[in-house]
Amino acid sequence: MSLRYAIYDVFTDTALAGNPLAVVFGADGLDDMAMQAIAGEFNLSETVFITEPKGRDADYGLRIFTPVDELPFAGHPTVGATVALTLASGAAEGDRRRFVLEETVGDVTADGRVNGPRSGSARFFAPKLPEQVGELPDFGAIADALDIMPGDLMDTSIQGGIWSAGVPFAIVPVRNADVLADIKLDLAAFETAFGGEMPVCAYVVAKASATEHTTDWRTRMFGPNLGIHEDPATGGAAAAFAGLLAEQTGLGEGEHGIALYQGVEMGRPSLIRLRLRMEGGKLAELMLGGDAVKIAEGELLAIPGEDA
């Protein structure tokens, strides 16, 4: 057996930027161990496997793996898979396709658009609205983990916490975007701060500078516990962050667009677009979107469990 795959750069319209993703098609014959082994071989932040759905209401199933674990939901595999499926459908430039994608967290409704022969954009409704599920560790432990000063965690416009829209993230606000560039992970201290019974990744956020739009945020995501030292773009973290923004930033009724810039310090700039709909002072609906560019495609010839 051989399987077709493609590599996409996601949350960017420029090749060799954004967050790379492996998309494996026709993966129904793979068991969990095989998927995990293939994801480890690609060694990207995530690999998504496209299968037939188990339920009757979905068009495709998605299984999402980091190099060391499976995730119930993630944004950049959802965007990348949607663009890949849209391009594979034979849609013409400018055309859109809608899919219901069966992820472990639940069904996700996603729209894809063809922007060019190898590029597209996608947006999807978050299958689960974000909620706060825990508190941050003390500032001293966080500062040690990120090698910054405790004062960099004070005097911020929002208060952090552990939030989840399917996967929990420790959302850590810092004083300004300059602090983001100063971060250097201490892995032992990171394990002390963010490990334990419920290990979480750290999503460090700062308000964008005055030269950028007032609704923009700059972010970095660190997930060594998932085999991801740093991620160039993290849709699951962005979805979690949307819950905090909805609760703490005084958004009025109706729709609000927010841009998140990530990967800048890695040389892989990424843009995640959020659209929040507020109703009765609460987040009623959340949409995430972004672009994706196909940079490679090929065939998997070595399948775990099969003879060479």
Phi first, then psi: give them for residue 73, nearest 5 degrees. Answer: -165, 145
46 catalytically annotated? yes
Q: Residue 172: which of 187, 190, 188 has the closest Cα? A: 190
Q: What 8-state DSSP symbol labels residue 160?
A: -
Per the CB < 8 A criterion, the answer to whether 1 and 29 are in contact is yes
Structure tokens at 37: 């082994």
Structure tokens at 132: 């706060």
Structure tokens at 237: 């973290």
Those residues whose C-beta lies under 8 Å from the C-beta of residue 211, and which sit 6 or more positions away, are none
Structure tokens at 299: 């065939």
Those residues whose C-beta lies under 8 Å from the C-beta of residue 307, and which sit 6 or more positions away, are none
Which residue out of 46, 102, 230, 247 is catalytically annotated?
46
Please say whether the dihedral angle defined by the alpha carbons of residues 175, 179, 183 and 186, taken in this order, is positive or negative. Answer: negative
Q: Measure the CA–CA gap between 96 and 84, rounded to whole angstroms.
A: 12
Per the CB < 8 A criterion, the answer to whether 174 and 152 are in contact is yes
Known catalytic residues are 46
